[in-house]
Amino acid sequence: MPKPLIGLTTTCTPRRAHPAIYGTNRPYAEAVLQAGGLPVLIPNDPSDNDLDLLLTRLDGVLFTGGYDIDPACYGHPPHPEIEKPDAERDRVEIYLVRAMVQSSRPFFGICRGCQVINVALGGNLYEHLPEQLPGNLHLENHAKPRDHLAHAIHVQPGSRLAAILPAGESWVNSLHHQGVRDIASGLRVTATAPDGLVEAFELPGHPFALAVQWHPEELQAQESMRSLFGAFIQACQG
């Protein structure tokens, strides 16, 4: 069976005196490869028509992590803690989310990817958790190793996520200062952190539409986190 082509969304990184670079962290591509897929980078400047053409050749899309979504995308005012918003990336990813839902193609969101899926489908975000979520766990741990297990999550029984992760609590890493505030209509919350923050959701009835707030690509030493990518690639093969 041919390996499925998986589109990975990207960050545009400016460079002084050199052209900007489109890219994403290497562990995303490595996790896709290990699970049996072939990663393809999606730049942030195609037209909507070109994105439609690209989607006819992709078997799934992985919405990767990155900098913050512009609050204007979900009707909130600017916030001083917003980091490096990119209007073109926001446009491309929101378009892709809606196209993947409409076409029933598999997609998986991680960290920013989780947040942009919620925004694209009508939800909104906490712009800065330390300020806006009382009792939050201070979930930005960039000074620690990226595989540092920061807190437990509770997975909802009967969900797609529960069929992938082991029963009971799981421990995850945490590398974000934003998170889902109001979940979009139609999405089902499938995991939460001890402070109540949404850690995962899915779109019921879709072949594979799953998003997580943590970074499973950085936890590939754990069989359960490899299984997340395995389930995604299996859905893309279908």
One-letter amino acid at 61 equals: V
Nearest-angstrom CA–CA distance, 235 and 175: 27
Nearest-angstrom CA–CA distance, 10 and 64: 7
Q: Which residue has the tokens 């969304």?
A: 9
Q: Is 73 a catalytic residue?
A: no
At 70-90, the pLDDT tens digits run: 999 999 999 999 999 999 999
Report how many domains make up the chain.
1
Q: Kindly state the average pLDDT of the residues 188-201.
A: 96
Instruction: Tell me the residue range of the domain where 14 lies.
Output: 5-237
Do 151 and 194 touch, CB atoms closer than 8 A? yes
pLDDT value at position 140?
Answer: 64
Q: Is 215 a catalytic residue?
A: yes
DSSP state letters, 197-217 = -EEEEE-TTSSSEEEESS-GG
List the one residue out of 120, 125, 41, 47 whose CA is nearest residue 82: 125
At 8-61, the pLDDT tens digits run: 999 999 888 889 999 999 999 999 999 999 999 999 999 999 999 999 999 999
Residue 151: strand pairing partners: 172
Catalytic residue, chosen from 199, 202, 217, 218, is: 217
Catalytic residue, chosen from 73, 111, 114, 236, is: 111
Do 10 and 64 touch, CB atoms closer than 8 A? yes
List the CATH number of the domain containing 92: 3.40.50.880
At 139-190, the pLDDT tens digits run: 666 778 899 998 999 999 999 999 999 877 899 999 999 999 999 999 999 9
Q: Kindly state the average pLDDT of the residues 96-123.
A: 98
Catalytic residue, chosen from 114, 128, 215, 218, is: 215
Q: Is 111 a catalytic residue?
A: yes
pLDDT value at position 232?
Answer: 98
DSSP state letters, 99-122 = HHHHHT--EEEETHHHHHHHHHTT
At 223-238, the pLDDT tens digits run: 999 999 999 999 999 8
At residue 103 the predicted structure's pLDDT band, cuts being 50, 70 and 90, is very high
Nearest-angstrom CA–CA distance, 124 and 14: 28
Q: Kindly state the average pLDDT of the residues 103-126.
A: 98
Do 40 and 10 touch, CB atoms closer than 8 A? no
Bigger pLDDT: 14 vs 211: 211
- Average per-residue pLDDT for the chain: 95
Nearest-angstrom CA–CA distance, 48 and 129: 33
Looking at the predicted structure, is the pLDDT value of residue 138 above 80? no
Q: Find the angle CA(143)-CA(150)-CA(186) to the nearest 5 degrees.
A: 115
